[in-house]
Structure 1
Amino acid sequence: MKHVFWESVKIALDALVSNKLRSILTMLGIIIGVGAVIAMVSIGMGVRDKVSNSIASLGSNLIIVTPGAASSSGVRQAAGTNITLTLKDAEALAREVNGIGAVAPSVSKQYQMVAGNMNWTTSVQGTTPEYLEVRNLSVQAGSFITNEDVETRNRVAVIGTTVASNLFTNINPIGQSIRINNAPFTIIGVLEGKGQSAGGQDQDDTVIIPLTTAQERMMGITYVQTISVQAANSEVVDEVQEGITSLLRARHDITADKTDDFTVRNLASVMATAQETTGTITMLLGSIAAISLLVGGIGIMNIMMVSVTERTREIGIRKALGARYSNILMQFLIEAIVIGVIGGAIGIVIGIGTSYAISSIAGWNTVVTATPILVAFGFSVGIGLFFGLYPARKAALLNPIDALRYE
């Protein structure tokens, strides 16, 4: 049986080699289909990874607390709802809610800053030392703000790489003096670059100063605009969110019949929604590309039908010499499968090459993984088998006498 199988493979390969151009054109549909599926899925998975990384860059296990009730579309919030959170609320959360890793209250506002003859306008964040951990930041040079800076309202600043490159072209920013809204600050650190967010915002275009300095010396306010909370791990995020809501309702004297004067958002749910959406996009791209695989399969069927017609006399001779139904069936099935296998293999190479080419030329993020490659290759072999079955069966059922008479 093994000898018969390999003999059939040899005959199939000889038949394909003897008609090179026709074989290549038959494989073309499979090659394009497999290559397109791999390239399209890699683009979709690249988009998913970029969105996930962008959300993750905001902070791991992050919960954002903002003032004001969650408003429905078109409904304006009541006056004063944006000043309901304070530094004491943040301190209470860190002290009383179980499962919290770190808490960082913050305020922000756009200001113009001047260094020598250079000026730049950006968002100035007033916050606490915990902000570094909560938002997954790291310092490239110098140091970050300290609790002492917050307590003494120091005029110190940590800047992002975008600000550093625009204000200090050829000199080290550490120790340099800048004026923020005409107030002098000393630069003590430069943050590691984080790139763009999912919304296209430059995360390195920022300046961080102590919270109390921003509140009392810059803005003249006593409230905070955001409280960023990092849960200890992903398992307790929902529990921490409930704890935050309960504690703030109690601190703000909100009774059961009244709505919250704050909003608590869980970035884990945002991440899940984003991954679901990008997963759907990936499936859609892959499905569209898979249509060309189907077209390739129909091409295999057409060529195999032509091959059966051309080789009717050969089939008759083989049957007259004792070839059985199964031998003829296997021969033509193997031809179809070989087309699928070779076309699939070439398609894999082209698909991976296209993915890397798109990444380097267009600058898109692409992710090539084994799963879509194996699935696309499996489909190419399966399509060869499926669409080769009818022509192979037609060849195997030919009457040897009629076949021998065929001209």
Structure 2
Amino acid sequence: MNLLVTIRIALRALAKNKMRAALTVLGIVIGIAAVTTMVSIGQSAGQLFQGLVQSLGTNVMWVTQGSRSVDGVRTQGVPTLTAEDAQAISEECPAVLATSPLVWTGGQVIVGNVNWNPNEMLGVGSQYLTVRNWELSRGDFFSEQEIRSAAKSCVIGHTLVAKLFQTANPIGEEIRVKNIPFRVVGVLAAKGSNMVGQDQDNVLLMPHTTVRRRLQGSSFNTVGAVMVSARRPDLMDQAAFEIGQLLYERHRIPPGDPADFEIHSSQEASDFLNTLTGSMTLLLAAIAAISLLVGGIGIMNIMLVSVTERTREIGIRMAVGARGRDILRQFLVESVILSLLGGIVGVALGIGASVGVTKLINAILSGEDWPVVISLTAAGVALLFAAAVGVFFGYYPARRASRLDPIEALRYE
């Protein structure tokens, strides 16, 4: 009996009990759908997180002040980074593309009788846009000359344009920060919200010298951090090494003493997020796969019942020449067909659920843009696993059917 005939007989046998067959594969359907959905959502989250890391800039690293231990408690050390450190890193580290000092501040921005609180008010350097891989939609960025002279110039994001100027062109207009007038010289290209819903366009950039001298009233040249962009992703480790060597020398740190700075990279954040999303995806898929085992047990149970119900049929087939391996193959094919049907329906439901859940997340979390990711790899693996479940859990009933004694089977009532 060839395979095509066996499949036809198996389909005819399953068609006699459609409701029972449907209920039998329900566990497989739920398991496959859950696995496909969970893996797809996990990959969607992974892409979103990677997009967030990329939005921070191109091959970005942060040099921050080092921490120190006081009575066993880790605290921030005394600020030691300077704007000159940032310039030296840019000029003396071959693997570095650009750098920018960072100085944080806060407060209201006022235009006429309208005021607004930006999410970020930063003092930065002239290479900040290169580091952040950010462009201007209009106007210009402040120059090195404006930074040296602590010019009262600023660049604003699209949200500030909408809140403070509505439809008017802001270039050349004056805004006030802590009662100090600033001239708008440029507008940043729109970036939208990040993965936690924070508006990246609600930002005000100023020369770091202006923030430090005019807004903070400080005569020191220290900065909060230095943002660095490596020339290529594969040069990030080399850039970190060069920065470390340079700062050890510039800060005159004796050999063996702890550094007064720390270097962090976007690759570290990317690796951490990859590990986190990968672990969560595997965990959720493993939990969902339990229902596949439940479905497989259901298939074994129904196939054992089917063997009992069709004992006389098996006896007749053996009496007219069917061999044990033909009976074994017939019941195995029935089991695999049940599993594959459940797998196909489960994959379809899983794809639909992935799209639905992603759209629901975007609808609930306004401003979010979770990408729709359909994991075809997960779907293919799930189908193969479904077939394996059919073979594994169908083998014992099929083997039991193939070993029935024809005479005893014919006598079975």
Under TM normalisation by the shorter chain, which class is it? over 0.9
Structure 2 CA distance for partners of 1:392 and 1:54, relative to 1, 3 Å: same
Structure 2 CA distance for partners of 1:77 and 1:185, relative to 1, 3 Å: closer
Q: Secondary structure at the match of 2:94?
A: coil
Structure 2 residue aligned with 1:367:
373
Structure 1 residue aligned with 2:268:
269
Q: Secondary structure at the match of 1:75?
A: strand
Tell which deviates more after alignment, 388-397 or 261-270: 261-270
Structure 2 residue aligned with 1:395:
401
Whether the 8 Å CA contact 1:45–1:366 is kept in 2: the answer is no
Q: Aligned AA for 1:130?
A: Q
Tell me the distance in 2 between the aligned counterparts of 1:285 and 1:140. 43
Match status 1:86 vs 2:92: no
Q: Aligned AA for 1:155?
A: K
Deviation at 1:318, TM superposition (A): 0.5
Whether the 8 Å CA contact 1:42–1:367 is kept in 2: the answer is yes
Deviation at 1:71, TM superposition (A): 5.5
1:217 corresponds, among 211, 214, 219, to 214
Tell which deviates more after alignment, 373-382 or 250-259: 250-259
Structure 2 residue aligned with 1:202:
199
Summarize the alignment of residues 110-125 of structure 1 with structure 2, pairs less than 5 Å apart. 110-122=106-118, 123-125=120-122
1:142 corresponds, among 139, 148, 160, to 139
Deviation at 1:343, TM superposition (A): 1.0
Deviation at 1:267, TM superposition (A): 2.4
Q: Aligned AA for 1:394?
A: R
Tell me the distance in 1 between the aligned counterparts of 2:5 and 2:214. 88
Q: Deviations over 1:338-369 (max 9, x none)?
A: 11111111111100000000011232555222
Structure 2 CA distance for partners of 1:20 and 1:141, relative to 1, 3 Å: farther
2:63 corresponds, among 62, 65, 68, to 65
Q: Secondary structure at the match of 1:104?
A: strand
Structure 2 residue aligned with 1:33:
31
Deviation at 1:257, TM superposition (A): 3.7
Deviation at 1:167, TM superposition (A): 2.5
Structure 1 residue aligned with 2:50:
52
Structure 1 residue aligned with 2:17:
19
Q: Secondary structure at the match of 1:111?
A: coil
Q: Aligned AA for 1:212?
A: T
Structure 1, unpaired ranges of 5+: none
Tell which deviates more after alignment, 35-44 or 269-278: 269-278
Tell which deviates more after alignment, 44-53 or 33-42: 44-53
Q: Secondary structure at the match of 1:390?
A: helix
**TM-score, length basis structure 1:** 0.93
Whether the 8 Å CA contact 2:106–2:121 is kept in 1: the answer is yes
Match status 1:189 vs 2:189: no
Q: Aligned AA for 2:135?
A: S
Whether the 8 Å CA contact 1:55–1:198 is kept in 2: the answer is no
Deviation at 1:173, TM superposition (A): 3.3
Whether the 8 Å CA contact 1:47–1:366 is kept in 2: the answer is no
Structure 2 CA distance for partners of 1:281 and 1:311, relative to 1, 3 Å: same
Q: Secondary structure at the match of 2:12?
A: helix
Whether the 8 Å CA contact 1:61–1:234 is kept in 2: the answer is yes
Structure 2 residue aligned with 1:126:
123
Tell me the distance in 2 between the aligned counterparts of 1:142 and 1:24. 65
Q: Secondary structure at the match of 1:362?
A: helix
Match status 1:299 vs 2:305: no
Deviation at 1:283, TM superposition (A): 0.3
Structure 2, unpaired ranges of 5+: 363-369
C-alpha RMSD of matched pairs (Å): 1.9
Q: For this pair of structures, how many residues does the alignment match?
A: 402
Deviation at 1:199, TM superposition (A): 5.7
Structure 2 residue aligned with 1:349:
348
Tell me the distance in 2 between the aligned counterparts of 1:192 and 1:369. 33
Whether the 8 Å CA contact 2:296–2:390 is kept in 1: the answer is yes
Tell me the distance in 2 between the aligned counterparts of 1:71 and 1:197. 34
Tell which deviates more after alignment, 249-258 or 351-360: 249-258
2:386 corresponds, among 371, 380, 384, to 380
Q: Deviations over 1:213-246 (max 9, x none)?
A: 2222222332211111111112221121121111
